[in-house]
Structure 1
Amino acid sequence: MSATDDGLGPDTPEQRSGPEAGELQLRKALSTMNDLEPPRDDLFVQRALIRGRARTSRRRNTVLGTAAALVVVGAVGTAWMANHSASPSTASAGSAASAPKDLTGAAGGSENGSGGTPQPLGNTGGVGREVAPSVVPPARETSTWFGALSSPQTMSFDTVEQQLVTRWADVFSGAYAADASAAHLVVTVTRHDPTLESLVRGAMPSPGDVTFVVVEHSYAEKARVLQEIGSEREGWRSKGVEVVGLSMDARADVVVVLADEGASPGLLARRYGDLIRVVPSSAVPTDKLPDGSTLPPL
Structure 2
Amino acid sequence: LRLIRHYLHSSRIDLSHINICSKMSITTALEFETENGKVNVMLRDIGSLEDFGPEKLSHEDYEAIAKADYVCVFNWAGTRRYGTELAEAVFSHAKSRGKSRTYYDTADPTPNKEKADQLIKQVLQANFLDILSLNENEAIFYASRLGFDLAQAGKPGFEELAIGSARTIAKHVKARVDLHTTSFSATFTGKNETIVPTFKVPVLRVTGAGDAWNAGNILGEILQLSDGARLMLANAVAAYYISNTAGRHPTRKELIKFCNKLKRRL
Structure that is richer in strand per residue: 2
- Report the TM-score when normalising by structure 1: 0.21
- Report the TM-score when normalising by structure 2: 0.23
Larger Rg: 1
